[in-house]
Amino acid sequence: MADETGHLPRRPARVLKAAQWSWQGLRAAWRHESSFRLEVYLLVVLAPLALWLGANGVERALLLGSLLLVPAAELLNSAVEAVIERYGAEYHELAGRAKDMGSAAVFVLMMNVLLCWGLVLGPRLL
């Protein structure tokens, strides 16, 4: 988000302002989005497992990185949905398509988690 002068953060004070806006977004998602809360709960449970089960840095990065992408996509999906709702609750084909695509992006990244975890941990279990 641009500040009052219309510039992106560059100096330390502006970077701190950008961090405040990010924190506000995280708090809003936590407060208003049950899917985001569920994904954070799963991250809290699975992140330590990812660090423990990964045999090396690359495996840990794959396991943990795939997990972190899901709530990030949920934040973007929620932002799209909020903008669409801002302009009215009546049905519009493009609004429905945008919401469905945002949901599909979250789904694809959830499948990515399963794929990464399966490829990294599967050979050890079989």
Residues marked as catalytic: 74
Between CA 65 and CA 41 the distance in angstroms is: 16
Among candidates 43, 79, 78, 83, which has minimal Cα distance to 63?
43
Between CA 69 and CA 114 the distance in angstroms is: 12
Between CA 63 and CA 57 the distance in angstroms is: 10
Among candidates 121, 115, 122, which has minimal Cα distance to 60?
121
